[in-house]
């Protein structure tokens, strides 16, 4: 897989970008929803657990098969941000 989605080629690249961005925004929306309705601690725990599951193959074992794919996906999840007072306190 390409290190960056911009390196991908083909007529479906635009559609792939829309799909990936939409999925990413859905994850961010879900985390914001959890933060608003269950608290910032629950949202931070969700993110931490999701990252752990990704890194250990619990969500999709195929992610571990290619280092470049792993290195593309995991940082995207790590970069998810919302008004997270727990992260702000740690910085």
Please report whether residue 90 resides in a domain: no
Q: Which residue has the tokens 């007072």?
A: 85
Please report whether residue 54 resides in a domain: yes
CA torsion 73-29-46-54 (nearest 10°) is -20
Please report whether residue 65 resides in a domain: yes
Please report whether residue 88 resides in a domain: no
Q: How many domains does the chain have?
A: 1
Q: Is 91 in contact with 48 (CB distance < 8 Å)?
A: no
The domain in which residue 42 lies consists of 12-83
Count of Cβ atoms closer than 10 Å to residue 86 Cβ: 15
Please report whether residue 7 resides in a domain: no
Mean pLDDT, 10 residues at a time, the chain of 91 residues: 58 83 92 92 93 94 91 90 60 53
Tokens of 36: 């608003």
Please report whether residue 61 resides in a domain: yes
pTM of the model: 0.71
């Amino acid at each position: 897989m390409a290190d960056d989605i911009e390196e991908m080629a083909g007529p479906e690249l635009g559609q792939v970008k829309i799909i990936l961005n939409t999925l990413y925004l859905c994850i961010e929306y879900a985390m914001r929803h959890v933060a608003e309705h269950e608290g910032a601690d629950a949202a931070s725990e969700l993110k931490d657990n999701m990252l752990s599951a990704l890194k250990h193959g619990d969500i999709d074992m195929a992610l571990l098969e290619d280092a470049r794919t792993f290195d593309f996906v995991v940082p995207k999840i790590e970069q998810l941000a919302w008004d997270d007072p727990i992260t702000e306190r740690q910085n």
